[in-house]
Amino acid sequence: MTGVDDVLALGDDALIAAQRLAEWTTNAPELEEDIALANIALDLLGQARLLLTYAGELEGEGRTEDDLAYLRGDREFRNVQLVELPRGDFADALVRMLFFALYQRELYDGLVIGDDARLAEIAAKAAKEVAYHVDHSTLWTLRLGDGTPESHRRAQEAVDRLWPYTHELFEGDVPREGWLAAVDAVLAEATLTRPSDEDSRFRPTGGRKGVHTEHLSYLLAEMQVLHRAHPGASW
């Protein structure tokens, strides 16, 4: 199956998700959570590095993970919009992680048995990490949804705000049914309700074609500033 753009898309998802999540470092509500969020960001960054390296090899023009991460403009990034949205509050972070980790679980489950051996290998490694991300975000969705009235309100707002962006995850080969069933089970136990698919025609998309929200350009400006200031330097 695999084209450069497909692999770039997966690598960019992981890279941009990691960059956002890392913004929590020193800002988490508990020390334990500083550690957990940094840990998950590190896992995602590790996935991004493997995927971008592979994409560079497929492309065959000698571009490294760093060339791809630091020297592409925002119209060249292939990530879904969900992962580039601003950091938000803790409910945003954990609900987004729930949606994204459950998607990655479906994705990697498919790649592990797919015919691209290299992707299967990357997916097998990543699947173990994603299982942990799913656990962590599930637990927090339950705590926030079924915690206090304030945390319930915030968690519900995060679900409502992020839901429209989840449609873009399923424009490719990953089936939505398994994901939807898993999300529904967690939200139900967390006493949260998800928007019905009929409720809104707002279904943002375009990330896979390099059409993003206004947020990505700022994220990249920050991420790339130093690398771009010293062309050709080693770090």
To the nearest whole angstrom, how small is the minimum distance from the Cβ of residue 65 to another protein?
5
In this complex, which beta carbon is closest to another protein, that of residue 39 or of residue 213?
A: 39
Pair 144, 152: CB distance under 8 Å: yes
Number of chain positions touching another protein (CB under 8 A): 49
- Rounded to a whole number of angstroms, the minimum distance from the CB of residue 173 to another protein is 26
Whether 45 contacts 63, CB under 8 Å = no
Q: Decide: is 185 part of the binding site for another protein (CB under 8 A).
A: no
Q: Whole-number minimum distance, CB 30 to another protein, in Å?
A: 6
Nearest Cα neighbor of 101 from 61, 58, 134, 127 is 134
Q: What Rg do the C-alpha atoms of the chain give, in angstroms?
A: 17
In whole angstroms, what is the distance from residue 140 CA to residue 133 CA? 11
27 binds another protein (CB under 8 A): yes
Asked whether the beta carbons of 193 and 157 are under 8 A apart, the reply is no
In sequence order, which residues have a C-beta less than 8 Å from that of residue 130 and are 6 or more positions away?
43, 101, 104, 105, 108
- How open is the CA angle 123-1-46, to the nearest 5 degrees? 25
Q: Which of 42, 71, 112, 211 forms a contact with another protein (CB under 8 A)? A: 42
Can you tell me the distance from the alpha carbon of 148 to that of 143, in angstroms, rounded to the nearest whole number?
A: 9
Stretch touching another protein by CB under 8 A, among 100-108, 122-130, 150-158, 170-178: 150-158
**167 makes contact with another protein (CB under 8 A):** no
Judged by CB under 8 A, the stretch of 40-48, 118-126, 160-168, 179-187 that binds another protein is 40-48
Sort residue 75 into left (φ over 0), alpha (ψ -120 to 50) or beta: alpha
* Binding segment toward another protein, per CB under 8 A, in 143-151, 174-182, 195-203, 208-216: 143-151
Among 124, 181, 185, 225, binds another protein (CB under 8 A): 225
Distances (CA, A) of 158 to 77, 92, 136: 25, 5, 17
Q: Per-residue string for binding with another protein, 57-96, x by CB under 8 A?
A: --------xx--xx------------------xx------
Q: Per rule CB under 8 A, is residue 146 in the interface with another protein?
A: yes
Which tokens belong to 108?
């990697």
**Least CB distance to another protein at residue 220 (A):** 11
- Contact positions vs another protein (CB under 8 A): 15, 19, 22-23, 25-35, 38-39, 41-42, 45-46, 48-49, 52, 65-66, 69-70, 89-90, 142-144, 146-148, 150-151, 154, 222-223, 225-227, 230, 232-235
